[in-house]
Amino acid sequence: MSLNEQQASELWRDVRGTLWPSVRDANLTGRQRADVSQLYFHTIANSLITDAVYITGDNNFLSRADEIYAKFGVVTDTATATWTQYAPKYGLYQPTDIELSTFLHDQRNHLLQMSNRSQ
């Protein structure tokens, strides 16, 4: 998605008005502004990614999930619901402890090798 400055401002105001319709801009808390920024980012990112989901446990997002999707095209859901829906579609699985340890070990070794090469 490519937005000019005016379009970006309009989108931010629209997202802000959807999440916090009864709160004036000057009265938004830092957390509320962060919520607006998160949804703003996902709105832009989802325009480039298929099957993207904003995963959250925040009831302010979840209670407005249908409205958020209708206005911004952002699917909003819980981690459990998202996993249930997408795991079979993409063949996802929960790695075993051994697989996870092996992966982390391999990553550390790879990063160490890259660090040594750059010196």
Ordered mean pLDDT values, 10 residues apiece, the chain (119 residues): 86 91 92 90 76 86 92 91 92 93 95 87
Burial per residue of 40-79, b for 16 or more beta-carbon CB atoms within 10 angstroms, e otherwise: bebbbebeeeeeebbbbeeeebeebbeebeeebebbbbbe
pLDDT at 44: 84
Its pTM stands at 0.68
pLDDT at 1: 66
**CA 19 → CA 22, 25, 53, 77, distances in Å?**
9, 12, 17, 15
pLDDT at 118: 80
Q: For residues 57 and 64, is the Cβ–Cβ distance under 8 A?
A: no
